[in-house]
Chains A and B, each alone.
Chain A
C-alpha cells in the first residue's frame, strides 16, 4: 500500500496514534509522567468518537492493570500505559496477567524508580518486571515504537504465545522528542492487527471457564511450565510477524540489532535510545580504521541468548552498558550477556558499565572512552560508572 503518511510526532504520541488505529476494546489507565500523554491523547480520541473503545479512568495504577486483566480474560483487546512507580504499584498484578495468558499490550515509558523522586529515564522500572512472565521489547525511536505496537498486538494474541507485552521506550528522550514518523493507513493497520479471537473468554457462557482459581502444589508448576512454552514460541512467531509487517513498511527489527558488528573486534552492547550515539561513534572509529561495532538488544524477554552468542562470538572485547542497576548483584543486561556468552568455547572478555541513571545524559565522548577501554584492555572486576560524579569531581553534567 502506498497510502503512508509522514508526520512529526513524539514517542508517546506515536504510541497513542497506533492505539487509535488499533481501536482496542478496552483501555484502563492512570496517567503518570512521562507516559501521561498516551492515556491523555487516547482519552481525547475516546471522547471525540475517534475510537469505539471503552476508556476506563480508574483511581490507581493497581486498579488500571486489574481492570485490564479482567477485560482481557473476558475476551477484549486491551491496552494501557504507565511509568516508574506506577509500574511498581502494578507489580502484584503483572504475574497474574501473564499466568492468565492475558495478551495485554502495555506502553512502558521508562523512568527511574523513586526515591529520590526523579522524572527522567532509566530502566529501573521495567527491569524488576523481567521475571513477571511478560515479553519485554525496548525501542530506540518513535518509529520503532509505532511499528512495535502493531507487532505486539499480533504477537501477544497469537495462540502459540498468548503472553502480555511491554513495549518500552525511554522517558522524555524518546517519549517527548519530536521527530519524523511514517504512519500506515488506518485500513492497513486494521487489516494487519485483525480482530482478537479469544481462546477461552470468560464471557462465553456456552463454554464456561474459570480464571483465578486456587491450586496447590499439584498444578502450579505445570501452569508455569506452560507459560515458559508460550515464551519459547515468541521469537519464531515474532520472525513471521515482523516479516509480514516489513512488506508494508520496508522496516525490519531483529531481536538484536547488529550494527557493523559482523567483522568488529570491539563491541558495545546497549539498549534503547542511547544506541544512536553509539552507532555514530562506531562510524567515527571505523573511519580511523578501528573495527568497532554495536549490538542493540531489543528483546529482553525472552532474552535472545543464542542470537547474542552467535553475534558476539570471536570478539576481542565486549562492553555491556546497563541503564539500571541490580544493587548487590550483576546489572540485568550484563547478567544476561555474561550468561549467554559462557557457552562459547572462546572466551569473550566483558566489561560492565552502568550509565544514565535518573536521566544522566550519555554523550559521544562516553562511547569513545568505552571503546578506548576495550582497545587498551582495561578491565575491572566491578562495573564502571559513566558520567558519575565521584567525591572530588567538580564538573556537574546531566
Chain B
C-alpha cells in the first residue's frame, strides 16, 4: 500500500455514506492500519448531497483537512456521477466505485476519465431493493470496496456493519449481510 490512501464518498443524506466510511475505518483499524473517518457537515437533511472521507495509512495520520486528491472515490447515489463532480481533484489513476445499473463503458465516458482510472460498478440500489426492500446502498458498496482491500476477509465488513447497526432488527441485519456479500461478487471492473 502507498503511504496514505485517501477516500472520498459522495452520497445523499440518509443513504449511509457517513456510516459506511466509519465502518470502513473500523474494519481497517482492526487490520492494524492507522485510519480516519470524517464526514463533511452541512445542513443535515435527507437527500442533500453529503461527502465523507477516509484516510488509511501504515503510519500515524496527522493531517485533518478535507481530502482534495482522493485515490478512491465512492459514488453512493447514481445521480451524483455528474452532479457531485466525483472526479474533482482525483488522482489520475484513482479507483471509482459507483452505484449504478449502467454499462461500465458508458460510465467511464460520462466520468471523462483516462484509461489509467479504474472503475468498479455495482448496482447497489437494485441489490438493496431486492434484499431489504429499501434503497440503502451503503452495504453492497462496502462489499464492492472489500475487493480493493483483498487482504481483509469480507466477513470483517459484515461483522462491523452488524455491530454498527445493532439497533436494526435481526432480519434487516441478515438482509444487509446478504447485500454486502452480493456487492462483493456482483461488482465488476470496467
Binding site for B on A (CB under 8 A): 8, 34, 119-120, 141, 170, 172-174, 176-180, 273-277, 279-280, 361-364
Contacts and interface: CB of A to CB of B under 8 A. Distances in A.
A120 B65 contact: no
Contacts of A279: 62
A363 B37 CA distance: 17
B36 interface: yes
B57 to A, nearest CB: 11
Contact of B64 (A8, A119, A120, A177): A177
Contacts of B36: 177-179
B41 A119 contact: yes
Interface in B11-38: 22, 25-26, 29, 34-38
A34 to B, nearest CB: 8
A363 B68 contact: yes
30 contacts: A8-B22, A8-B29, A119-B41, A173-B38, A173-B64, A176-B38, A176-B39, A177-B37, A178-B22, A178-B25, A178-B35, A178-B38, A179-B25, A179-B35, A179-B61, A180-B29, A180-B34, A180-B35, A273-B64, A274-B64, A275-B62, A276-B61, A276-B62, A276-B63, A276-B64, A277-B62, A277-B65, A280-B63, A361-B65, A363-B66
Contacts of B37: 177-179
Given A177-B64, A179-B35, A277-B63, 16 more contacts: A119-B41, A173-B38, A176-B39, A176-B41, A178-B37, A179-B25, A179-B37, A180-B35, A275-B62, A276-B62, A276-B63, A277-B65, A280-B63, A361-B66, A363-B65, A363-B66
Nearest to B36: A179
Interface of B: 22, 25-26, 29, 34-39, 41, 61-66, 68
A280 B41 contact: no
Nearest to A366: B65
A6 to B, nearest CB: 8
B29 A364 contact: no
A364 B65 contact: yes
B34 A277 contact: no
A274 B63 CA distance: 7
A3 to B, nearest CB: 19
Chain A CB within 10 A, most for which of B25, B36, B63, B66: B63
Q: Which of A8, A180, A275, A277 has the most CB of B within 10 A?
A: A8
B64 A280 contact: no
A180 B29 CA distance: 7
B62 A280 contact: yes
A279 B68 CA distance: 18
Nearest to B63: A277
Contacts of A177: 36-38, 64
Contacts of B61: 179, 276
A280 B29 CA distance: 22
A275 B62 CA distance: 8
Contacts of A280: 62-63
Nearest to B26: A8
Contacts of A34: 41
A123 to B, nearest CB: 15
Contacts of A364: 63, 65
The 4 lowest CB-CB distance pairs between A and B, nearest first, are A276-B62, A277-B63, A178-B37, A177-B38
Nearest to A180: B29
Contacts of A178: 22, 25-26, 35-38
